[in-house]
Amino acid sequence: MGEFEVHRVRFFGLVPAGVRCLACQPRGPRLALARTDGAVEVYNFAVNYFQEKVIPGHDSRSVEALCWAAGDRLFGAGLNGEVTEYDLARLCAARSIDGCGGPIWSMAANSNGTQLAIGCEDGSVKLFQVVPGGIEFERNLDRRKGRILCLSWHPSDTHIAAGSIDTLRVLDVSSGQTVQRIMVNYHTQKAKRECIVWSIAFLSSGTIVTSDSFGRVQFWDREQETLLESHTVSTSAVLSLAVSEEEDSIIVGTSTGATYQFQLLPVKAGSLQKRWVRTKPFQHHTHDVRAVAHSSTALISGGLDAQLVIRPLMEKMQKKGYDAVLRKFTFPHRRLVSCARKARLLLFQFSQHLELWRLGSTDETGKDGEVLPLCRMPEHLVQLKSKGPEHIYCSSVSPCGSWVAYSTASRFHLYRVQYEGNGVSVKKVPKMPKLLLPAYQLQFSSDSSSLFVASARGSVHVLQLLEPGGCKHQHRLRPPSGSPEAVYLLASSADGHWVAAVSGDWAIHIYNLKCFKHHCSVPTYNCAVTAVAIHPVTNNLVIAYSDQQLFEFSIPKKQYTAWSRTVQSCGLHRMWLERDSPITHITFNPKNPSHILLHDIYMFCVLDKSLPLPDNSALLMNQGTLKQLPETARKRQLHAFKICKKFQPLLFADLLDENCLVMVERPIIDIKTQLPLPIQQKKFGT
Amino acid sequence: LYSSSLDGSIKLWDFMDGILIKTFTVGSKLLALYTPASFEDSVFVVVPKSGERDTFQLVSVKLTKAAGQDLEAKELSVILDSVNASPKCIAFGREGEYVASVNEVNLQVYFFKRKQLNRFSLSAAKTKSGNNHFMCIACHPTEDCIATGHADGKIRLWRNFHHKKEYTFSTLHWHHDAVMDLAFSVQGTSLLSGGVESVIVLWRNESEHQRDFLPRLGSAIEYISVSPDGTLCCTLHTDNRITIINSNLRFSRSIQGLIKSTNVKTGLVVDPRTKALVLNGEPGHLQFYCLQSDQQLFSLDIVQRQYIHQAGLNQTDLVKVAFSAQGEWLATVEEREEVTDPELQLKLWFYDEETQSFKLNTRISMPHEDHITDMCFRYMDEVEDESLILVTTGSDCVFKVWAMVEDTDPEGKYAQQSVSWSCDFVGSYHNYQATNCCFSEDGSLLAVSFEETVTVWDSLTWDLKCTFCYSPGKIRNICFGRLTCSKYLIGATDHGFLCCWNLLSCALEWSAYLNVVVLQPDPLSEHIAAISWLSKDSSLFVFKPNEPRPIYIQRNFCKEKIQLAAFVPREEPETVGSAKYLWLRRSQLFFLTATQELITLSTKSLEERLTPSSKQLAVEESLPVTPFSLLLGKHRRHQSQEDIDLGKRVVCNKPEQDSPAVKELLHTPAHVLPSASFLCPVFINSLLISKENTSAEEVADAVEMESEETEDDSDEERDVTEMEQEDTSPMELLGEITCKLSKSQEKELRKLRKMDYSWISAF
């Protein structure tokens, strides 16, 4: 594997925002997630739960509810009182329409996705028609006092159940009248506290399921207005509830971080009488579980601790494999850190600011595993705050460290950073050329002479950087066939000849920078690309896909390399394929051209192309055993994958020079200390 | 009513009459028996798998309807493999549709109709909350739901187990230690669970948040069962007690015999006042157990601290008890096991005539530096209270003499308390550990054994009079002879010697090679009982110190190690025919074995005990009561023969010999009972009939039955006590197996009691 001097960076103070709501695409593979800072993310189940799209948040645009309508259109509604449609190709908010009912707490689409109902602060339920190019206000339903916190359509689209404080209502869609009004708290005497119906579901059998702030999950009969069953699952509030499509399973999330599954089970074998039974409890979260979703094979929950937990239902799994593993996502599937190799700077991207740090250094050497004392501490050089309510899409620092660029939804900023002794001066580059905004990815060329800006419609802008502090729009690269999707990954070659761009439809286009022409495109592979990089010596493009496959594509020859074909014919190790987080960054060692350095959240890997690939019988993580073997035996055991799991969770790893690595970690425990205290629970024995 | 036994037979009883109807021979050891109501002609038994150790199978046995007393059941079919031998680990589901069994981390469910076996297993990995091994199982009476209890205190409710994959379970967790037993209510709306915490938990609607508790049940719960009509449930505790609880979780009553404590450290002591046997009861308590009525007279809280029901805690417990001669003073020693230094307390209690209980008089903390090994009062019949002396010996190489002193400060805080105890003399011998102490009968001499040496001290001047040494081996027990033999001192050593020294000549009188574990003098005669332990079984020797030959030997009377013995004075001397049993005239000998069974020696044969005298019956209470119930049963059969259809009653198990039915009769107020003139002829009649008609057979039958019953009980409790009871020897050993009812037996208790009432009213 070779020995490296490692900068173990733990000063990236990223705190991911909590999960606010979740929405499964009906009959589709996607899951939309909204965070408390207003960011919306789309995960694709079909490609190993890869975080496909990220729409950064906006200060004035909180998202309280998300829903899919008319197939693949995503709508969000929030406390600013607007219903927003998201453009998933351009990754921005497309259109907003005011609901005229004050803050919107809830939104639900009917079963065929043609109508949206929103529940407002003023107690009204409004219907919107989903039309091509937007939504149109249709009508108001019966307005009563009390904010509508949750909504659910009956699967036949004739009625809507709306949950409010202390009551739940059933509204007739055609007449717009309140058909039923059920006092949730009627049965209990402790009416001193108000009972908030946090979540509601309307089943096709006419049963209404509510979850409330008293920790109850209650089943109501709509016709009789009677309570069928009441399950107290928690001493604190039950915040969220989701029903499976077959309506035989319910997941609820509580404010203690626990989620519970309810199942509709036959009372006796073969009899028709069925009952809801609370079955499995899960405790994956430490804080409020604000959102749950029920896909056909998994229970999905998102909490204020920023975790998205996908818990597969074992009984629905046909075979053991990638899908049958519990997975937790805390960090985004893309990099928030960029590194200036020569200047030894790190740029950290937060939602609304950037931090530029200089790495510490040491003049001592030591043995394997030793911690070297620093002679110069890492230094926080600059904090750049983005102005306005918009959150940052992407950022980058040039390899020489003198340029910093970032983009928000509507603005693009380029800064010239100058280092004078101990001081640092940051100067904004004026007169930026008009670009197609926002930029989704920024990449400086290795000689810091130009900047590549990933943009919408598959295009890449090339900006020439001018000394001292100027820039010029040089060219716009576009795929020959055109593309509706935005480019989200860029890679440039070290010699400045090539740039590769990956757009949202997972097509990889390679452009020649000498003549600014489309060179070729990589044959499409039916999976999301998670990382690309161009080898500095051979100009091979290395591609990592979300199903953990690795490809190497020779740009000059416009074909896959021999090694890549070997990998495909032999297949990768089973353990490698079953890893649950995508490769987020690829880099190379210029001194050792056969090495590829890759990392995901949980491991760092040096892939040595000169060594044989391991077969499934071999141990994938064999570094520990190799150390104990004598030299001759070690030779026989060597294989291509050299994996290090010492640094976790690993947000970024890069090679500064041939024997110096930088690893950026963000320990979960540090995030936990930044979060508010969880609900105090008495724990037995403490 | 069926019973199964380790010798491989299933017996069918008529439990109303208490007669054996049929015997089915299966052949191998039967460890548990199940008779679900929906299977009319077959029963299920757990047998060891042939050829393998510690693996068991559940087998269904087809019981043929053929006539005849002894039948062989040949139709066996294996249903489940590798089941647990404990009867708690198998349960039959709703209407006998399936059977579920748990073993370690596996749950097996077998459906009879579909002949399908489903297996579910938990991960065997021990999590931080403990291991998740199965402990017990219960099936919902009306729904398809199985409840299992686990070693980490969780209860899992399994549903949808018809499908191999889509099964599901939910978890209830309150217990912090293993769940010992579970029971569903009759309708299945609630679930009862119990464990070491000695709290019964009622889970309503299978909800984690709707639960009720009945705490402070005294000791850990072993079994729970619910009566078929749902009004009562009863729990069996580790300390040998049954608690009956109303359906609204209100304590109803408890049936209690001798409390089984974890370790009887105090020894068997006889309270001179009540003639009750005194020993460790509940943790930290002293129980006074009346032998005549088989009841606990009272329980004295010595430690006076909260007992925490949790395994693995070192808690203060009572280790030594001594009474003064008249029983007005009680000395207790309690200690807490610590590795470095034990916490010791010596407490002296005075019997308060007004309140009829013992009152704490003096508390001495750390009377010795180390464990107290023995303690005794000076026996003095004549002298006044003030000269009462207590001697304690400790592992810290000294013995201490404690004497009563008048309180010198009458104005002080404790003005009302006139006497207290303080240390009077500390003696030691060559820095050896003091192990035993004993006063001579007149109180003038004190013998203290120091490892290998016995020292004799003058109790007035505390001078060392003489020493005896008979190596090799440390002294295990010492005692003085009584009455005519008071000049002798008896000692037993580790290396298996019994020595007798003459105090006048200070010489060894005789010695015998005998591995004596218990040496017990009879306070009312000169006899001394010695119990030896030889490899496998215990033998009893009774001798007088003045002659080296024992007057009575009973070899191999008990397979278990006898730990303690005590002579209990009889209320009135018994007339004993044979000279061989003269030593039992004035007192009765009781033994306590390692498994805490109380055994006594009796002189009377069975026929004698059947004499219908009321006093005799009262005494019989402490002995097996089956003869009496037999009588009653017979009597009933004479009355209404047509009512009973023999063999039709298929009930899970048989009533315990110590059935409350008889007690009930005896304790029934006189106005409820039929007139004595009615009862007496019945008794006499039954006797006459047995003599006239089939006297030999009947009696033999009765005797055999009784023995079988005892055997059977012991089998079910897995405490194998082979009680040879009906043998030719006129001397009879009665195993009074202190009732440890198995689960199924308990179930019957309620039923039985109800029926008894009904037939009493039928009078």
- Per the omega criterion (within 30 degrees of 0), is the bond before A468 cis? yes
- Using a CB-CB distance cutoff of 8 angstroms, which residues of chain B are in contact with residue A231? 207
Q: A265 and B176 in contact by Cβ < 8 A?
A: no
CATH topology (fold) of B86-256: Methylamine Dehydrogenase; Chain H (2.130.10)
pLDDT greater at residue A493 or residue B759: A493
Q: Angle B196-B199-B203 (CA atoms, 0-180°, nearest 5)? A: 115
Q: Which of A663, A671, A629 is nearest to A646 (CA)?
A: A663
Output B648 or B111, whichever has higher pLDDT.
B111
List, in order, residues 6 or more apart from B453 with CB less than 8 Å away: B429, B430, B432, B467, B468, B469, B475
Q: Which residue of B has its CA nearest to A234?
A: B209
Paired strand residues for B145 = B159
Question: Of B367, B329, B372, which Cα lies nearest the Cα of B348?
Answer: B329
Interchain contact, A280 vs B165, CB within 8 Å: no
Residue-level pLDDT at B6: 64
Q: What is the distance between the alpha carbons of residues A394 and A392, in angstroms, rounded to a whole number?
A: 6
Q: Which residues of B touch A259 (CB under 8 A)?
A: none
Pick the most confident of A83-97, B69-83, B279-293, B336-350: A83-97
pLDDT score for B327: 78
The CATH number that domain B1-80 falls under is 2.40.10
In the prediction, which pLDDT does A238 show?
93
Residue type, A18: G
Lowest mean pLDDT among B368-377, B381-390, B597-606, B740-749: B740-749
Inter-chain touch B159–A263, beta carbons under 8 Å: yes
Extract the tokens encoding B472.
Answer: 């090799």
User: Which residue type occupies A668?
Assistant: I
A152 vs A659, residue with greater confidence: A152
* Residue of A229, A278, A682 best to disrupt the B interface, most CBs of B under 10 A: A278
DSSP state of B127: B
* Cβ atoms < 10 Å from Cβ of B125: 8
Do A585 and A601 touch, CB atoms closer than 8 A? no
| Start and end residues for every CATH 2.40.10 domain found in chain B | 1-80
Q: How high is the mean pLDDT of chain B?
A: 68
Chain A residues 181-220 with CB within 8 Å of chain B: 215
- Mention every residue, 6+ apart, whose C-beta is less than 8 A from residue B344: B333, B334, B335, B365, B366, B367, B368, B371, B372
Q: Is the pLDDT of residue A537 over 80?
A: yes
Mean pLDDT for chain A? 87
pLDDT for residue A133: 84
Residue length, chain A?
A: 686
Share of chain B above pLDDT 90, in %: 0
Minimal-distance CA residue of chain A relative to B161 = A269
Which of A407-416, A456-465, B467-476 is the least confident region? B467-476
Instruction: Give the residue range(s) of CATH 2.130.10.10 domains in chain B.
Output: 86-256
Contact across the interface for A281 and B206, Cβ inside 8 Å: no
Residue A268: which of B143, B157, B208 has the nearest Cβ?
B143
pLDDT at residue B579, rounded to an integer: 58
Residue to test with chain A: of B159, B172, B310, most A Cβ within 10 A? B159
- Considering the entire predicted model, what is its pTM? 0.74
3-state secondary structure of B179: strand
pLDDT of residue A291: 93
CB-based contacts of B667, cutoff 8 Å, min separation 6: none
Domains and CATH numbers, chain A: 1-16+525-677 (no CATH), 19-329 (2.130.10.10)
- Three-class SS state of A568: helix
pLDDT digits (tens, 9 = 90+) for B672-719: 344 444 444 444 444 443 333 333 333 333 333 333 333 333 333 333
Provide the pLDDT confidence category of residue A318 given band limits of 50, 70 and 90.
Answer: low
Residue of B nearest to A261 (CA): B170
pLDDT tops 80 at residue B132: no
CB contact under 8 A, B166 and A315: yes
- Residue B471 sits at the chain A interface (C-beta within 8 Å): no
> Highest mean pLDDT: which of B72-86, B193-207, B271-285?
B193-207
Are B176 and A684 an interchain contact pair (Cβ–Cβ within 8 Å)?
yes
CB contact under 8 A, B97 and A685: no
Which tens digits make up the pLDDT trace of A571-610?
A: 888 888 888 889 999 999 888 888 999 999 989 999 888 8
Interface check for A326 against chain B (CB to CB < 8 A): the answer is no
CB contact under 8 A, B165 and A314: yes
Backbone angles phi, psi at A316, to 5 degrees: -90, -5
Judged by a CB distance cut-off of 8 A, whether residue A519 touches chain B is no
Tell me the chain A residues in contact with residue B162 when contact means C-beta distances shorter than 8 Å. Answer: 269
| Residue B316, min C-alpha distance to chain A (Å) | 21
Q: Which residues of B163-184 are buried (b: 16+ CB within 10 A; e: fewer)?
A: eeebbbbbebbbbbbbbbbbbb
pLDDT tens-digit map of A319-361: 666 666 788 888 988 889 999 988 889 999 998 999 999 988 8
Q: Can you give the pLDDT at residue B760? A: 40
Q: Which two tokens stand for residue B301?
A: 């809280």
Q: What is the pLDDT of residue B376?
A: 84
Percent of all residues in chain A with a pLDDT value above 90, rounded to a whole number:
37
Q: Which residues of A touch B169 (CB under 8 A)?
A: 279-280
3-state secondary structure labels for all residues of A161-227:
EEECECEEEEEECCCCCEEEEEECCCCCCCCCCCCEEEEEEECCCCEEEEEECCCEEEEEECCCCEE
Q: Determine whether the interchain pair A233/B209 forms a contact, defined as Cβ–Cβ distance below 8 Å.
A: yes
Q: Do A280 and B209 touch (CB under 8 A)?
A: no
- Residue A67 pLDDT: 92
Give the pLDDT confidence score for residue A225 in this predicted structure: 84
CB A292 within 8 A of CB A282: no
- The residue in chain A having the minimum alpha-carbon distance to the alpha carbon of residue B168 is A279
More confident residue, A658 or A386: A386
Nearest-by-CA chain B residue for A262: B170
Contact residues on chain B for A235, CB-CB shorter than 8 A? 209
List all residues 6 or more positions away from B711 whose beta carbon is below 8 Å from its beta carbon. Answer: B5, B722, B723
User: DSSP for A285-302?
Assistant: -SS-EEEEEE-SSEEEEE
A 142-161 near B (Cβ less than 8 A): none
Q: Report percent pLDDT > 70 for chain B.
A: 62
